[in-house]
């Protein structure tokens, strides 16, 4: 009988550890602190429990970013109202020098992205670069006001683990929307 008890204990410990820890792949492990369009500081782990739809842009972009913004709005429009409360649409600036909280707030209003579902983030150059690497987004400053960058929309589950990516501009987002609806409870 003593022998059987020893065998059961490690199983209980493993189950307990597994349910309380964050996956090594979770973005909630990143220590970065971001500033929102409302000029408040936030850590990504504060978004835990939501499905996150993320894209990296810069507000002075005249080429790809307006299309990425339109793609994000299209995705948001296709999410059923009952699921929207568990979804956050996040735009992360790759140009923190220009994209101040005031500029991000103005941009959110201009683009009708000012409900609680939309979060605009800016961070330090280092945190932005680290986050871009996590998303597999490449970007490079090519002139004082322009960047060359990847066009990727990423979907993270409630635990901050990457669940889906959509690459390209103006592409069919049916698969992305389906993944968001599947994940949102």
- For the chain, give the secondary structure using H, E and C: CHHHHHHHHHHHHHHHHHHHCCCCCCHHHCCCEEEECCCCEEEHHHHCCCEEEEEEECCCCCCHHHHHHHHHHHHHHHCCHHHHCCEEEEEEECCCCCCCHHHHHHHHHHCCCCCCCEEEEECCHHHHHHHHHHHCCCEEEEECCEEEECCEEEEECCCCCEEEEEECCCCCCHHHHHHHHHHCC
Band the pLDDT of 2: cuts 50, 70, 90.
very low
**According to the model, what pLDDT value does residue 66 have?**
87
Mean pLDDT of 29-52: 95
What is the pTM for the complete model shown?
Answer: 0.83
Give whichever of 11-20, 84-93, 143-152 has the largest mean pLDDT.
84-93
What does the pLDDT look like over 131-169, one tens digit per residue? Answer: 888 888 888 888 767 777 778 899 999 999 999 999 887
Residue 130 has pLDDT above 50, yes or no: yes
**According to the model, what pLDDT value does residue 21 have?**
61
Band the pLDDT of 62: cuts 50, 70, 90.
confident
Mean pLDDT of 13-32: 66
**According to the model, what pLDDT value does residue 16 have?**
34
Percent of the chain surpassing pLDDT 70: 88
């Amino acid at each position: 009988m003593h022998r059987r008890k020893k065998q059961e204990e490690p199983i209980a410990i493993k189950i307990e550890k597994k349910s309380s820890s964050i996956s090594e792949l979770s973005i909630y492990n990143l220590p970065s602190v971001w500033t929102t369009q409302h000029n408040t500081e936030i850590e990504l782990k504060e978004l835990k429990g939501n499905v996150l739809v993320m894209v990296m842009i810069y507000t002075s972009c005249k080429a790809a970013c307006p299309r990425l913004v339109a793609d994000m709005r299209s995705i948001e429009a296709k999410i059923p109202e009952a699921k929207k409360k568990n979804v956050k649409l996040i735009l992360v600036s790759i140009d923190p020098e220009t994209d101040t909280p005031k500029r991000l707030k103005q941009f959110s209003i201009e683009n009708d992205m000012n409900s609680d579902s939309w979060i605009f983030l800016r961070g330090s150059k280092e945190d932005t670069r680290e986050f871009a690497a996590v998303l597999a987004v490449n970007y490079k400053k090519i002139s004082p006001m322009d960047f060359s960058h990847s066009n990727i929309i990423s979907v993270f589950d409630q635990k901050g683990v990457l669940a889906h990516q959509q690459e390209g501009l103006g592409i069919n987002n049916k698969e992305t929307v389906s993944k968001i609806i599947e994940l949102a409870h």
